[in-house]
Amino acid sequence: MRDHENPDAPDDDAPLDPAEMLALAERQQRAVGLSYAKPVAWMFLVWGVAWMAGFLLLWSGYAEGNPWFTIPIAVAGVAFGALIVVSIVFSAIVGARIGRGVRGASDFSGAVYGISWSLSGAAFAALGIGLIQNGLSTELASLYFPSAYALMAGIMYLAGAALWQVRSQLVLGILLLLIASVAPFFGAPTNNLVMAVGGGGGFLIAAAWFWWQLRRQENR
């Protein structure tokens, strides 16, 4: 509404010109993009740290693994499991919060995506336990569990890429599927080193790239 006491004041009710409307739309789109990108960046970072530390611990649980020091395999296994559980829970929470406040399909998709992390993790764990009870050896179990969780994470990131059209999730998902498929051919415990360097390194590189992109967008 125009101020009658100040006829030179801008009219708040006047429609925006096309250039202003385009700029406003771009700012809103960038704000929405940042609201999706920040949680994903944190997800990459948490998984990168957990993946790198967890698989290095498993690799160090074998005398023929880490040449510098060895830790009890039971301790390494518990620590690895704890790190993976923390990552899955964090991903479930973050995934459920992505799109919160946006009613409809986005809110529902985020909730389903978040729940899928926990359900998938429990399913792969139950499958491994069932195989062990039916004769799966310790050596083969040490090949199954790392690849199983890599497959789970890879599939979930592919789903995330489809939901939110984030290309970095697509690339990371494909990388994890590739590593999960190749690592067992190296045998135990080298497969854990492959997972730590390939998977953990991929997560950390993706997180660094994402934060750099976020910083660029925020500066704009």
Q: How do residues 13-62 score in pLDDT, each as one tens digit? A: 555 555 555 444 455 444 444 556 677 788 889 999 999 999 999 999 99
Amino acid (1-letter code) at residue 150:
A
CA distances from 30 to 25, 37, 70 (A): 9, 10, 48
This prediction has a pTM of 0.77
Cβ neighbours of residue 220 under 8 Å, at least 6 residues apart?
30
Cβ neighbours of residue 135 under 8 Å, at least 6 residues apart?
none
Instruction: Give the chain's residues under pLDDT 50.
Output: 22-25, 28-33, 101-104
| pLDDT, position 12 | 53
- Please answer whether residues 203 and 172 qualify as being in contact, where contact means their C-beta atoms are separated by less than 8 angstroms: yes
| pLDDT, position 195 | 95
Cβ neighbours of residue 201 under 8 Å, at least 6 residues apart?
48, 52
- Please answer whether residues 119 and 89 qualify as being in contact, where contact means their C-beta atoms are separated by less than 8 angstroms: no
Cβ neighbours of residue 178 under 8 Å, at least 6 residues apart?
none
As a residue count, the chain comes to: 220
